Amino acid sequence: MAASRKLDANGISGTNKWSTVQLEDAIRSFSTEIIHVTARSYVFVCLVNTDSGTPFISALELRPLHNATYNTETGSLVLARRLDIGSTTNATVRFPNDIYDRVWQTHNWAKLISSQTDDYQEQNSYDPPSSVMTTAVTSTNATEPLSFSIGIEGSASQYYTYMHFAEIAILQANQSREFDVYLNGQKWYGPIFPRYLSTNTIFTRSALNGGKFQFSLNKTGDATLPPLINAIEIYTVLELLQPQSDQEDVDAIMNIKSAYRIERNWQGDPCSPPDYLWEGLNCSYNDDDLPRIISLNLSSSGLTGEINRYISNLTLLQSLDLSNNSLTGSVPDFLSKLSSLKFLNLSGNQLTGTVPPPLTESVGGNPELCASVSCNDNNNKKKYVVPVAVSVAALFVIIGAALAIWRRSLKRRKKQEEAGEIMVAQTRRTSEALESRKLKRQFTYFEVVQITNNFGSVLGRGGFGTVYHGYLDDIEVAVKTLSPSSVQGYKEFQAEVKLLLRVHHKNLTSLVGYCEEANNMVLIYEYMANGNLKHHLSGEQPDILSWEGRLRVALEAAQGLEYLHNGCKPPIVHRDVKTTNILLDAKFQAKLSDFGLSRIFPNEDDSHVTTTIAGTPGYLDPEYNITTWLTEKSDVYSFGVVLLEIITSRPVIAKNDDADKIHLSNWVSSMLDMGDIKAIADPRLHGDFDVNSLWKVTELAMACVSETSSERPNMTQVVMELKECLATEMARTREGSRSPQSNNAVNLMALNLHTEISPLAR
């Protein structure tokens, strides 16, 4: 720290006060830590001067955490204490020992015990450092409880506490360690059986409200050894009640700032908190709504260029002052369409052209502006003089020449039209010929019988009908026949044929041909030797699909779906994404299939189409099911369920012990609340996976199955995330087996943070 004076500054997370920093001298340092779930893709951190010295910061560090840890009912968590209980070195522990770079202070108050090995075996999602978990404290007397307290009498603070336990001694056959946790004299949790070098974390699920809280670890009657504890974390709750500005307004004003290179101290949230409103802005504050920008004053700000189109996105703007700048170009029509705009000042600029009628009184001081179209005509009359004195003889010469040219052009046009008709006919025939070559082969029913050897080999049966194995010119094919009793019927048959004739992608099944003859409707596909994904996840195959193999299948299926959404114009929504519709070829390449329910958006700019509900229970988007609005995010929901199946190999809808039906996403959510990610994974994988890739895929899947479509990622984002997960797993398998500690390593987020006021410190 570079100052030997008192400095008092307020740190604001987003729009809310986070902490007060007070530095007494240049020797002592100060740090504060918050665990905050961001509602947006960015975080504003502002240092505010409180008239005690210029605010400054030495370092700002961000670390990503698992979504399943450090959950609160409301608010964010500010660190009070994080203690390595029982340290043998009295040294602070942080990165690289802690993969999240949490700082663990040492604290001993009871009998110290430590492990005889540093080879830690198993972590949970909180991942406290192994060096912290291989030491502990226990009560001196085996019959005495181990007690500690948090909080202060009379305090209004709310607390969350997280206790980490692990057995660090190899117990003999006649030894046992078992204890209960008491809170203020009442049993709160237990019994706890700490496992050898395996982290177990217990925590307060709701905040402890105000005052002092006494915890006690009491040995049960069956135990021979006293209780122990390895580490503890204590946080206070910070309620962030001040809302952030409307996102569209924020995006608009940030784009305006960038376009005009505005050098004002415009940082943080534009409208919040009201005491630190951006210069030149006024905002509306309604208890029921987010703060909105209603006034923008950029007068005499050195603006150049045209009036920026992002101003039109400030939809509640009531006052706009752009006077006394060097703006050029025309007055855009969008200004007249701002329904709330009451005051507009564009004077003192260099604007040209005509003015939209409603704005004629707001553009004084721009000499080149015209209030109507007629002024352009007047200007033209001033600039150009049309000669009127032409001799009669010359006029006749000109008229005669024009008539001669006209006769010749008539003859030429007649010949061109005759030739054009011939060319159009030839072009039409050529186009039809080219189009017919693009179409897949249409087979007769007699040919289908030959291809399938009289329908001798059945591959499977579904809602559409029976699928048969066949050969076409020595190439294996799958032949799907429409059953007369099919609930999908002729409409879906036509839809699938039309769609597959126009889409081509390596991760979509290829249509070899079709047959439509009388009541016989048949689709002929490329043969997928390894069946569908559901078959490989259900345990029917003796060979278990590895974690890397599962990630590869997920990525390839996602790529096929992403092509339908973004590679096709207009976009296509599949409407029936599920594991039985993801097929695997001889090389286990995944391809999306069954497009009978797919819908093509009539207009690629449409956000949704209204349609009857269709799909498979369990995979069906709940928002679509309620509103009948089909969007690309409906496929994202279904794909999220597929990801959960890939992770767990569990059924999408299962019955619990009470015979109630539970959706797979609800089961995974309940397991994540317990913080044990490994319990979610398919047990047949036997832990052979990178834990971080498992976490990332699980979080991605849970984001995909969000109840609200706006909270789901799009398929482009899904593809990018899966590529990263696959790369992580492939790197692990290339390196060979690793220790549990290294298997839990993560890459820390690299940040490049700076302000626009001063240069970077380094």
Residue 445: both structure tokens together = 């029913």
Quote the CA–CA distance of 14 and 75 in Å, as a whole number: 13
The four Cα atoms 114, 120, 125, 126 give a dihedral, to 10 degrees, of 30
Quote the CA–CA distance of 466 and 401 in Å, as a whole number: 78
- Crossing angle between the packed helical segments 691-704 and 632-648, to the nearest 10 degrees: 140
The CA-atom distances, in angstroms, between 671 and each of 68, 664, 677, 680 are 9, 11, 7, 7
Phi, psi of 149 (to 5 degrees): -130, 155
Q: Which helix (H) or strand (E) holds 295?
A: strand 292-297
The four Cα atoms 528, 533, 538, 540 give a dihedral, to 10 degrees, of 20
Contact 741, 691 (CB under 8 A): no
Quote the CA–CA distance of 291 and 273 in Å, as a whole number: 10
591 known ligand binder: no
- 333 annotated active-site: no
Tell me which of 84, 246, 249, 576 is the catalytic residue.
Answer: 576
Closest CA to 740 of 121, 99, 97: 121
CB 3: neighbour CB atoms within 10 A? 12
Task: Give residue 287's Cα distance to chain centre.
Answer: 29
Question: Half-sphere exposure of 221 toward its Cβ, with a 13 Å CA cutoff?
Answer: 0
Q: Is 499 exposed, middle or buried (0-12, 13-18, 19+ CB in 10 A)?
A: buried
Q: Is 199 exposed, middle or buried (0-12, 13-18, 19+ CB in 10 A)?
A: buried
β-bridge mates for residue 573, sequence order = 599
Task: Find the length of the chain.
Answer: 762
Which residues, in sequence order, are CB contacts of 361 under 8 Å at separation 6+?
none
Residue 714: both structure tokens together = 């799009």
β-bridge mates for residue 513, sequence order = 441, 524
Residue 315: both structure tokens together = 């939809």
Quote the CA–CA distance of 593 and 532 in Å, as a whole number: 10
Q: Is the peptide bond before 191 cis (omega within 30 degrees of 0)?
A: yes
Which residues, in sequence order, are CB contacts of 234 under 8 Å at separation 6+?
79, 80, 81, 82, 150, 159, 160, 161, 162
User: Is the Cα dihedral 698, 702, 703, 705 positive or negative?
Assistant: positive
Catalytic residues: 576
List residues forming the annotated binding site. Answer: 480
List residues forming the annotated binding site for ATP. Answer: 480
